[in-house]
Amino acid sequence: MKVDTSKCNYCGACVGSCPVNCIFLDETRIVIDENSCTKCGFCIRVCPMGAISAEWFE
Protein backbone atom coordinates (compact mmCIF):
# COMPACT_ATOMS: atom_id res chain seq x y z
CA MET A 1 0.00 0.00 0.00
CA LYS A 2 1.14 3.51 -0.67
CA VAL A 3 0.29 6.78 1.00
CA ASP A 4 0.91 9.84 -1.13
CA THR A 5 2.18 12.25 1.49
CA SER A 6 1.67 15.20 -0.85
CA LYS A 7 -2.10 14.50 -0.81
CA CYS A 8 -2.57 13.38 2.81
CA ASN A 9 -3.90 16.07 5.14
CA TYR A 10 -3.64 13.93 8.31
CA CYS A 11 -7.40 13.92 8.85
CA GLY A 12 -7.19 10.51 10.50
CA ALA A 13 -10.21 9.04 8.68
CA CYS A 14 -8.23 6.03 7.47
CA VAL A 15 -7.08 5.22 11.00
CA GLY A 16 -10.68 4.99 12.21
CA SER A 17 -11.79 2.98 9.17
CA CYS A 18 -9.39 0.10 9.61
CA PRO A 19 -11.12 -2.95 11.15
CA VAL A 20 -7.83 -4.46 12.29
CA ASN A 21 -6.31 -1.20 13.58
CA CYS A 22 -3.19 -1.48 11.51
CA ILE A 23 -2.99 2.18 10.45
CA PHE A 24 -1.10 4.57 12.67
CA LEU A 25 -0.82 8.32 12.48
CA ASP A 26 2.53 9.47 13.70
CA GLU A 27 3.64 13.07 13.87
CA THR A 28 4.74 13.31 10.30
CA ARG A 29 3.13 10.47 8.37
CA ILE A 30 0.68 7.62 8.07
CA VAL A 31 2.13 4.19 8.77
CA ILE A 32 0.36 1.01 7.64
CA ASP A 33 1.34 -2.33 9.14
CA GLU A 34 1.21 -4.44 6.00
CA ASN A 35 1.52 -7.68 7.95
CA SER A 36 -1.81 -7.07 9.69
CA CYS A 37 -3.64 -5.59 6.70
CA THR A 38 -6.47 -7.80 5.39
CA LYS A 39 -6.78 -5.85 2.11
CA CYS A 40 -10.36 -4.85 2.85
CA GLY A 41 -9.88 -1.54 1.04
CA PHE A 42 -11.86 0.52 3.58
CA CYS A 43 -9.04 2.99 4.13
CA ILE A 44 -8.68 3.58 0.40
CA ARG A 45 -12.40 4.26 0.00
CA VAL A 46 -12.66 6.49 3.06
CA CYS A 47 -9.74 8.78 2.28
CA PRO A 48 -11.16 12.15 1.19
CA MET A 49 -7.91 13.06 -0.54
CA GLY A 50 -7.41 9.87 -2.55
CA ALA A 51 -4.04 9.56 -0.90
CA ILE A 52 -3.98 5.80 -0.31
CA SER A 53 -3.50 3.33 -3.12
CA ALA A 54 -2.59 -0.30 -3.61
CA GLU A 55 -1.89 -2.41 -6.66
CA TRP A 56 -4.51 -4.98 -5.56
CA PHE A 57 -7.26 -2.36 -5.28
CA GLU A 58 -9.47 -1.41 -8.26
Selection from 35, 34, 28, 36 nearest residue 8 by Cα: 28
Question: Which spans in 1-58 are helix H?
Answer: 13-17, 42-46
Q: Does residue 53 bind ligand SF4 (CB under 6 A)?
A: no
Q: Does residue 38 bind ligand SF4 (CB under 6 A)?
A: yes
Q: What is the largest CA-CA distance in the chain?
A: 30
Q: Does residue 16 bind ligand SF4 (CB under 6 A)?
A: no
Cβ pair 15, 3 in contact under 8 A: no
Q: Which of 31, 52, 55, 56 binds ligand SF4 (CB under 6 A)?
A: 52
Q: Does residue 9 bind ligand SF4 (CB under 6 A)?
A: yes
Contact residues for ligand SF4 (CB under 6 A)? 3, 8-14, 17-18, 20, 22-23, 30, 32, 37-43, 46-47, 49, 51-52
